[in-house]
Amino acid sequence: MAQPTSNSFPGNTKSSGYVSRLYGVMILLFLVLMIPGLAMSQQAIPVAEDPEVEKRMIALTEDLRCLVCQNESIAESRADFSNDMRREIREQIHANKTDSEIIEFLVDRYGDFVLYNPPMQTTTILLWFGPLILFIFGVWFLISYIKNRRIQIEEVTLSEAQRKKVDALLNEENK
């Protein structure tokens, strides 16, 4: 079979059929490649009317826990609960509430647990200072370990005979 690009002679029905079929395949391929584009355009619908409000809302919700899917923030979560929270926060921003007022509103209802950045309290002291204590303990452990090792590895002085042997071996290698 000849190359498809080379036989565009009129009258060569067989090869022109081949070319049009190739075009058909290419158009089909093009359309198939368009499909993800369609899917994208559908997902992009729920964009806020007011980008300023949205920006503030996202900044706030990134530090808030979605109580339904607990390892996600409200900003990330697709849960119904988070949708409601985002709606609520948008409304409160529109009502000119400050960020701290909004946070307080949520903490009053859901407790400190909604905050990814918990306040310092008697119940959270371990949470706040636990890592520091572990770090200090780790440093102390490391220092004492290294000190112990230094004692174990004593300086070894070579005798004259040993030194000669070492020199001989090294010279042998350098040859």
Partner 1 sequence: MRYLMPLIAFMILAVFLFAGLSLNPRQVPSPLIDKPAPEFELHHLHEPDKVFSSTDNVGKVWLLNVWASWCVACRDEHPLFVQLANSGLVPVYGLNYKDESTTAMQWLRQYGDPYEVSVVDVEGRVGIDYGVYGVPETYVIDKQGIIRHKQIGPVTVKSMEETIIPLIIELQRQA
Least CB distance to partner 1 at residue 71 (A): 9
| 107 near partner 1, judged by CB under 8 A | yes
Q: Which of 18, 88, 90, 115 binds partner 1 (CB under 8 A)?
A: 88
Residues numbered 28-87 forming contacts with partner 1, rule: CB under 8 A: 67-68, 70, 80-81, 84-85
Residues numbered 119-148 forming contacts with partner 1, rule: CB under 8 A: none
Q: Which of 111, 125, 147, 169 binds partner 1 (CB under 8 A)?
A: 111
Compute the distance between CA of residue 20 and CA of residue 13 in angstroms, rounded to an integer.
11
| 115 near partner 1, judged by CB under 8 A | no
- Report how many residues bind partner 1 under the rule CB under 8 A: 15
Q: Which stretch binds partner 1 (CB under 8 A): 21-29, 36-44, 51-59, 105-113?
A: 105-113
Q: Which CB atom, from 12 or from 83, has the smaller least distance to partner 1? A: 83
Per residue, what are the HEC states of the chain?
Answer: CCCCCCCCCCCCHHHHHHHHHHHHHHHHHHHHHHHHHHHHHHHCCCCCCCHHHHHHHHHHHCCEECCCCCCCECCCCCCHHHHHHHHHHHHHHHCCCCHHHHHHHHHHHHCHHHECCCCCCHHHHHHHHHHHHHHHHHHHHHHHHHHHHHHHCCCCCCCHHHHHHHHHHHHHHHC
Q: Which CB atom, from 85 or from 93, has the smaller least distance to partner 1? A: 85
Least CB distance to partner 1 at residue 53 (A): 18
Compute the distance between CA of residue 110 and CA of residue 7 in angstroms, rounded to an integer.
74
Residues of this chain that interact with partner 1 (CB under 8 A) are 67-68, 70, 80-81, 84-85, 88, 107-113
